[in-house]
Amino acid sequence: MSVIAVYSMKGGVGKSCSAVNLAWNSAVGSSRRTLLWDLDPQGAASYILRGDQVIKDRARAMVAGNVKPDKLISPTGIENLDLLAADVSLRGLDRLFFQISKKRHLGKLLKQIGKEYDRIILDCPPGLTETSEQILRNVDIVVVPVIPSPLSERALTDVQMFLDSSGKKHAPLLPVYTMVDRRRSIHKQGLASNPKWPVIPMSSAVEHMTKLQEPVGSFAPHGPAARAYARIWRGIEKRLTKK
């Protein structure tokens, strides 16, 4: 079992859309038993996967150990893909991790939940908080969506420096350019300075995900966005199987 977090300190960079599309590729493209665990109280990934009505106010209690994970996990209707949905109780997650004060708490939970799965994808809230620290220290790969702009790239450097400064082990960060419009000079400059980073184009299909409540692979499988996510997922699988 491997855990892939989709994380960025910055908000609105495409984390939730990426998490859903990568989870779809894991489940459908790679036939892996996959769980998407939504850790963001906004619940965007849960909404897209139509799971936001299933549970109310128990997501934090599950992390605290007061509710069994299998009580909250539900199938999505997509083969091999289950959802551990978010709700607003997760707004108290930072305080909970702070109170528990065990750096491996999330790691232990993931191990327990992971008995039923090959891949767990985490959709993370923005910020550099107690929750982010737990995530960054307890997963196998961190996918970091970056909109080509100096501010986004700076957020990535800050997280990298934060992790390196502690001297402790952490998962590798995999930056991915998102919402790329190659006609814009600032995007072209970004891509030129990091030519090896994967690219997800600005795409109306990704925008439609929130209206249709489906991953792009389900309704526009041959479009540029679906192909980009599929390519990124294949790269992640390659790294995980090499480990």
Ligand X SMILES: Nc1ncnc2c1ncn2[C@@H]1O[C@H](COP(=O)(O)OP(=O)(O)OP(=O)(O)O)[C@@H](O)[C@H]1O
Per CB under 6 A, residues contacting ligand X are 11-17, 40, 42, 44, 126, 178-179, 200, 202-203, 206-207, 210, 225
Q: Which is nearer to Mg ion, 123 or 133 (CB)?
A: 123
Q: Which is nearer to ligand X, 74 or 178 (CB)?
A: 178
Q: Which helix (H) or strand (E) holds 36?
A: strand 34-38
Q: Is residue 72 within 8 Å of 25, Cβ to Cβ? A: no
Sheet holding 141-146, edge to edge: 73-75, 81-84, 34-38, 119-123, 2-6, 141-146, 173-180, 199-201
* Residue 132 binds to Mg ion (criterion: CB under 5 A): no
Q: Whole-angstrom Cα distance, residue 190 to residue 173?
A: 18
Q: Is residue 176 within 8 Å of 190, Cβ to Cβ? A: no
**Number of chain residues interacting with Mg ion (CB under 5 A):** 3
Q: Which is nearer to Mg ion, 44 or 73 (CB)?
A: 44
Distances (CA, A) of 92 to 13, 61, 155, 242: 23, 10, 24, 37
Q: Which of residues 147-206 bind Mg ion (CB under 5 A)?
A: none
Residue 110 binds which one of Mg ion, ligand X, none, with CB within 5 to 8 A depending on kind? none
* Residue 60 binds to Mg ion (criterion: CB under 5 A): no
Residue 44 CB, shortest distance to ligand X, in Å, is 5
Residue 2 binds which one of Mg ion, ligand X, none, with CB within 5 to 8 A depending on kind? none
Residue 210 binds which one of Mg ion, ligand X, none, with CB within 5 to 8 A depending on kind? ligand X
Residue 206 binds which one of ligand X, Mg ion, none, with CB within 5 to 8 A depending on kind? ligand X
Q: Whole-angstrom Cα distance, residue 18 to residue 239?
A: 18
Residue 62 CB, shortest distance to ligand X, in Å, is 20
Chain length of the chain: 243
* Residue 44 binds to Mg ion (criterion: CB under 5 A): yes
8-state DSSP, 25: I
Binding mask 14-43 for Mg ion (x = CB under 5 A): -xx---------------------------
* For helices 204-212 and 224-242, angle between their N-to-C axes, nearest 10 degrees: 90
Q: Is residue 177 within 8 Å of 146, Cβ to Cβ? A: yes
**CB-closest chain residue to Mg ion:** 16
Q: Whole-angstrom Cα distance, residue 228 to residue 233?
A: 9
Residue 71 CB, shortest distance to ligand X, in Å, is 25
Binding site for Mg ion (CB under 5 A): 15-16, 44
